[in-house]
Structure 1
């Protein structure tokens, strides 16, 4: 799909397959999610702007590359987004973090906000919104809009799995926000779950139902 980048690195696809397996334990699922999030972060930050600074190596001075501008913001859509966040912060420990608390109303499938906390200077930073599943896209659309309302202008959305319906709806609402995902699955079922999917990411991560 035009606005979505599928990260098809062999390690990403291998770990995703193990996450899909219903027999994978809570501990195993959590470990795999942390590992795959590092690989996904590597791809979503691939084109960050670079500048150079003068440094001293043990042997001689040189001009060396360094990321230009202010540090990133990772915006986690609670609660499942925190599973991706852990691995992302291992790779970029200096990143700022925003939290957006949303839950999906089981009847309407619409998002309901219960918490929001973000850095003040979002307009000056790249904001990567993270949520493992892009299903109906209602929560993702609401989260991105909330961040835009707070001044964010440079955003990307990172997820583990996406449904074609969710990708299309998200692109319609936020055509300026690129999507990065490990896979686009077949469809949504009648309950708004991605098929074949991997179940509820939050429940599998935390051992809840």
Structure 2
């Protein structure tokens, strides 16, 4: 992947995203839609994975069949909302190694505060996909990528549901080598640092909290 920002315009992605934006959508339905949309986004963010072949025998003949090459990739959830994307991606990539970075946003400074970090080993040999539904100010995402790079990762992609222009710019400035895949580039951030039109707080919508 070379483009810094990829917006997935697939009709199913856009339809499901519209349902998620609707404030009348229930927690249960929101959670199910997030899982479904993560399947579709996973398809895009894993494009270009290295491949090799191995000999297998079909019912008709022996063939050299394409299979994934190299170490198992790593998925890193930026807590807590990242877990919604993580669950859907693990449906498709069950053998992936999984890590977690816990960050919360100080509501006054909008700066990220770390409270947890547990990552898989040997990240230098793995593709690492960091997941968080919202790329808003970009501060938390940049901090999470900082931590992942400190653990040795060099091949990193960032997957989100929504992105604000401010967050994309912040990520490009701090980590120009990390491509971003998203379902939508929204208009802007409001004065509270929320994406507009957005869908509210993804964690609250997913877990039914306020």
- Give 1:59 shift: 2.0
The answer on 1:96 being equivalent to 2:97 is: yes
3-state DSSP class of the match of 1:54?
A: strand
Q: What residue number does 2:88 align with? A: 87
Q: What residue number does 1:45 align with? A: 46
- Give 1:56 shift: 1.1
Provide, for residues 9-61 of structure 1, a one-character-per-residue CA deviation record: whole Å limited to 9, x for no partner.
Answer: 00000000000000000000000000000000011011111111111112221
**What CA distance in whole angstroms lies between the structure 2 residues aligned with 1:67 and 1:10?**
28
- Give 1:103 shift: 0.3
Q: What residue number does 2:161 align with? A: 160
**Structure 2: runs of 5+ lacking an equivalent:** none
**What CA distance in whole angstroms lies between the structure 2 residues aligned with 1:31 and 1:23?**
15
Q: What residue number does 1:69 align with? A: 70
3-state DSSP class of the match of 2:140?
A: helix
Q: What residue number does 1:196 align with? A: 197
**What CA distance in whole angstroms lies between the structure 2 residues aligned with 1:103 and 1:158?**
18
- Give 1:85 shift: 0.4
- Give 1:181 shift: 0.2
Q: What residue number does 2:142 align with? A: 141
**What CA distance in whole angstroms lies between the structure 1 residues aligned with 2:120 and 2:134?**
24
Q: What residue number does 1:54 align with? A: 55
TM norm structure 1? 0.98
**What CA distance in whole angstroms lies between the structure 1 residues aligned with 2:4 and 2:122?**
26
**Structure 1: runs of 5+ lacking an equivalent:** none
**What CA distance in whole angstroms lies between the structure 2 residues aligned with 1:78 and 1:8?**
26
TM norm structure 2? 0.98
**What CA distance in whole angstroms lies between the structure 2 residues aligned with 1:122 and 1:47?**
18
**What CA distance in whole angstroms lies between the structure 2 residues aligned with 1:78 and 1:3?**
23
Stretches of 4+ aligned residues off by more than 2 angstroms: none
Written as runs of structure 1 = structure 2, the 5 A alignment for 1:114-129 is: 114-129=115-130
Q: How many residue pairs get matched? A: 208
